[in-house]
Chain A
């Protein structure tokens, strides 16, 4: 099951808290740990679905994370481990650092479903665009193969949206255009 999911990056100012949270998530996710802010940014690639991070992480910049999220290179969901209720609009979940392991897994499952919806929809759009341009291009791409991939993605998108509330649908579909504050 963990192999079907994207990577979760976990980082907290307290290394033991980072390790504890990582351990509680490893039964369901592939987890990378980060003990400083640069490590979070260095780990961000297409395989990452979720960044679960505390502002207390040394050398961590929320602004830098925001920039990586909006530059369009890699899509990921952000869970901010903070007791402060007021967080920037682009943060997907504010998580109380005292959260229990079961509740943490539940929140991360929810974030993972949101990430899956968006990533599959982005891939679907790319392939649909490619399919639509086949008639105008000389290419070796097999249309039937593309259609088969689109069908598989439709099924995966349907599975993801089945677990999402109405608000999440739009938040995730329209992510990337929100302001930083």
Chain B
């Protein structure tokens, strides 16, 4: 399954896309907890496509777990792991979604085992690229992650775009989790 809205408890075993909606900016620690909480089983590896936090912040959070971690910086399209980090390209060469997708494909190709993907955040991608373009990109990422046996998590700050945009992206998500600011996301 590559899409379908389902906020019930009988969610599919492997969700193509999980939308994590919060009313405020999510930090890497909250995202790591939300992913592990929702996932409900061991995670081999995670790739973070980062527009809202630094690679070092992301890597430091996941370093406290046994999960292998890769990051792709949306601004420069550089890739980092807990052991290696590429030099960023020239700042004038802002990465396109095609550039990012190439890096994602490389990451999945070279990864042994299953790999969760997280786009952090959808809100920032929507500020940089057209909504329809991001929508198609997110769909393809979800299919790719599902093919590799895992899910794609999308973070969204509900205060940064209109409700209709959240609604549109929820149509291609198997699960929509809304963080109301307490400890019980729905």
Flag whether A157 is at the interface (Cβ < 8 A).
yes
Residues of A within 8 A of B143 (CB): 161, 169
Flag whether A141 is at the interface (Cβ < 8 A).
no
Residues 129 to 181 of chain A near chain B (Cβ within 8 Å) = 129, 131-133, 136, 150-151, 154, 157-158, 161, 166-167, 169-170, 173-174, 177-178
Flag whether A65 is at the interface (Cβ < 8 A).
no
A174 near B2 with CB under 8 A, answer no
A118 and B137 CA atoms in complex are apart in Å by 11
**B93 vs chain A, min Cβ distance (A):** 14
Flag whether B164 is at the interface (Cβ < 8 A).
yes
Closest to A161 in B: B143
B97 near A174 with CB under 8 A, answer yes
A132 near B167 with CB under 8 A, answer yes
**A151 vs chain B, min Cβ distance (A):** 8
Residues of B within 8 A of A136 (CB): 164
A128 near B168 with CB under 8 A, answer yes
Q: Which among B61-69, B116-124, B128-136, B177-185 touches the partner chain?
A: B128-136
Residues of B within 8 A of A129 (CB): 164, 168
B2 near A177 with CB under 8 A, answer no
With A174-B137, A177-B98 known, 11 other A-B pairs at CB within 8 A are A121-B136, A122-B132, A125-B132, A128-B167, A128-B171, A132-B167, A150-B171, A154-B3, A169-B143, A177-B96, A177-B133
Task: Using CB atoms and an 8 Å cutoff, list the residues of chain A in contact with chain B.
Answer: 118, 121-122, 124-125, 128-129, 131-133, 136, 150-151, 154, 157-158, 161, 166-167, 169-170, 173-174, 177-178
Task: Using CB atoms and an 8 Å cutoff, list the residues of chain B in contact with chain A.
Answer: 1-4, 96-98, 101-102, 105, 108, 132-133, 135-137, 139-140, 143-144, 147, 163-165, 167-168, 171-172
